[in-house]
Amino acid sequence: MKYINFEEEPSAAVLDSRFMNEALKEAQKALEFNEVPIGAVIVHSGRVIGRGYNLTERLQDVTAHAEIQAFTAAADSVGGKYLRDCTLYVTLEPCVMCAGASYWTQISRIVFGATDDKRGFGRIDQCIIHPKTQILGGVNAQECGALLKDFFSKRRNKL
C-alpha cells in the first residue's frame, strides 16, 4: 500500500523566514548582555547545527561576532571546518571579516536580514565570498533592522 502525504513542504521563503527568526532569538541573547544585537544560526538539512550571538564586549574580543560563534559551533557539530550544504542565517549583513571567514568554510548560502551600509561586505569592490556561495538579503529585514535601531537609539539617549 502506498501512502500519500498531502501536506506540502514549506517553501524556501517560509524556511528562510523561520530560520531567520531563530537568528533573531540569538540576537535577543546578545541584547541581554548589552551587546549589539546580532544573531546567527547555521542550518544543514533543515536542522540548526550552530548558533551564535555577538559577544565582542563581553569577551573583549573584536572577532567574537555572531557569525564566527556560529561557524565554530557548526564546525564542532559536523566534525570539520567545511560547511558545504549549509546555510548561514544572520540578522545583519556580514562584515568583511565574517564574509572572509565564510569563504574558508565554503558555506553554500548566506541569508541576512538588515543591510549594513557602513560595514557590510557589499561595500567593498572585490567579492570575498566563496564563488559557489549564494547570497540572499532582506529576509525579515524589518524585524532585524528594528532591533538594531532600537538598541542604538537607547544607547544614544543614555549618553
Answer yes or no: are the C-beta atoms of 124 and 152 closer than 8 Å. Answer: no
Q: Is 153 helix (H, G, I), strand (E, B) or coil?
A: helix
Is 67 among the residues known to form the active site? yes
Answer yes or no: are the C-beta atoms of 82 and 88 closer than 8 Å. Answer: no
Of the residues 8, 32, 35, 67, only one is catalytic, namely: 67
Sort strands 39-44 and 47-53 into parallel, antiparallel or unpaired. Answer: antiparallel
How far is Cα 91 from Cα 113, in angstroms, rounded to an integer?
5
The number of CA neighbours under 13 Å toward the Cβ of 10 is: 9
How far is Cα 12 from Cα 81, in angstroms, rounded to an integer?
26
Pick from 98, 70, 96: which is nearest to 83 by CA?
70
Residues serving a catalytic function are 67
